Amino acid sequence: MSSSRKRLPPLNTIAAFEASARLMSFTSAAAELSLSQGAVSRQIQRLEERIGTALFERRHKKIELTKAGDIFYRAICESLVSIRRAVMDIERLNSTHVTISASLAMSSFWIMPAILKFKHLAPEINISILANDQVLDPFRDAVDLAILYGDGAWPDLNSYKLFDEKIFPVCSDSYATEHMIKSIDDLKRCTLIEVVSENSVCGSWEDWFNQIGYTGKFGNTQPLQVSNYDLAYRAAEAGQGITLAWNYGPQEILRSKRLIRPVDEYVDTGMAEYLVTGLSSAERPAIDRVRALLIEYSKGEGAAVF
């Protein structure tokens, strides 16, 4: 038997410790493991003797992790995440079902058109889109691909940059003409529409004006706030005001001139959208195929407008 194997505590003692630490109760751990409370206590004691230090502080009617116990518990949690990830990868090894997680806006304005575009190119692949502003993590969650907003610094993920984020005002052509919008100063006469969102570092008009360095004065009228980008763009299309758009979002709306850029200024936020997979994900032809198609789409019909 190898020395590394000899140093590994018995697995039943690890199971007893994990349940006790998670539930903070020997009694609850015993019920979960279908053991007596005494049996769990003996396994914890055996584990502590094996490691050579106390893992719990026993107090009246409650237990707490010691520093050593906290270190050991965090290591076990990380190991369980890897094990669960491996089990999911194995179960889906030959699956042609691919799940993609993305924000509501990215799902609506970019992923859906992409999937519809190349559905005929890979009819054997069943693609599910999980649209939620709490985007799932392919390393930890049951999802194959995700589009994450950020700086790309995710150590557990393989990432491919799709778009750098640039944000600019948009409105209908008739609205720009009616309000004679030629410069940023002209926006003070406009109804400003903004989305209440935390999905961008430049999501509000106040953020946008600050980041382009605008020092002019505006009235006391507050922007018209809506809950999502679809409502904002619909309102702008209907001539109700001017809103902010990002360069990889409503491409079709911009290319069809239903919305235009009335001024040239834009903010380059330094952030980007990344297509990511888990670093330890098992290779699956279906995932590789969808990933390649999304990257190809991002360079062609789905490319940023500038």
Three-state secondary structure readout of 236-272: HHCCCCEEEEECCCCHHHHHCCCCECCCCCCEEEEEE
Helices (H), 137-267: 173-178, 205-212, 229-237, 251-255
Confidence at residue 140, expressed as pLDDT on a 0 to 100 scale: 80
**Local structure of 208: helix, strand or coil:** helix
User: For residues 234 and 170, what is the distance between their CA atoms, to the nearest angstrom?
Assistant: 11
Pairing of strands 145-150, 224-226: unpaired
Mean pLDDT, the chain cut into blocks of 10 residues (306 residues total) = 63 93 94 94 94 92 93 92 77 83 94 88 92 89 92 92 96 96 91 88 91 78 89 96 94 94 96 89 80 94 92
Check if CATH label 3.40.190.290 holds for domain 96-306: yes
Confidence at residue 1, expressed as pLDDT on a 0 to 100 scale: 45
Which of these, 94, 118, 93, 102, lies nearest to 295 by C-alpha position? Answer: 118
**Count of residues making up the chain:** 306
> Which amino acid is it at 277?
T
Confidence at residue 282, expressed as pLDDT on a 0 to 100 scale: 57
Number of separate helices (H) and strands (E) present in the chain: 12, 10
Contact predicate 51/68, CB 8 Å = yes
User: For residues 151 and 127, what is the distance between their CA atoms, to the nearest angstrom?
Assistant: 27
Q: Where are the domains of the chain?
A: 3-91, 96-306
The burial class, CB within 10 Å (0-12 / 13-18 / 19+), for 60 is: exposed
Q: Which residue has the tokens 């719990």?
A: 56
User: For residues 80 and 103, what is the distance between their CA atoms, to the nearest angstrom?
Assistant: 27
Pairing of strands 242-246, 192-195: parallel
3-91 sits in which CATH class? mainly alpha
Sign of CA dihedral 32, 33, 38, 44: negative
Confidence at residue 231, expressed as pLDDT on a 0 to 100 scale: 95
Q: How many C-beta atoms lie closer than 10 Å to residue 58's C-beta?
A: 12
Q: Is 241 left (phi over 0), alpha (psi -120 to 50) or beta?
A: left
Confidence at residue 6, expressed as pLDDT on a 0 to 100 scale: 54
CA angle 243, 250, 113 (to 5 degrees): 155
User: For residues 299 and 306, what is the distance between their CA atoms, to the nearest angstrom?
Assistant: 12
Q: Please give the C-alpha separations between residue 284 and each of 95, 144, 179, in angstroms, as whole numbers.
A: 8, 10, 54
Tokens of 248: 């990889």
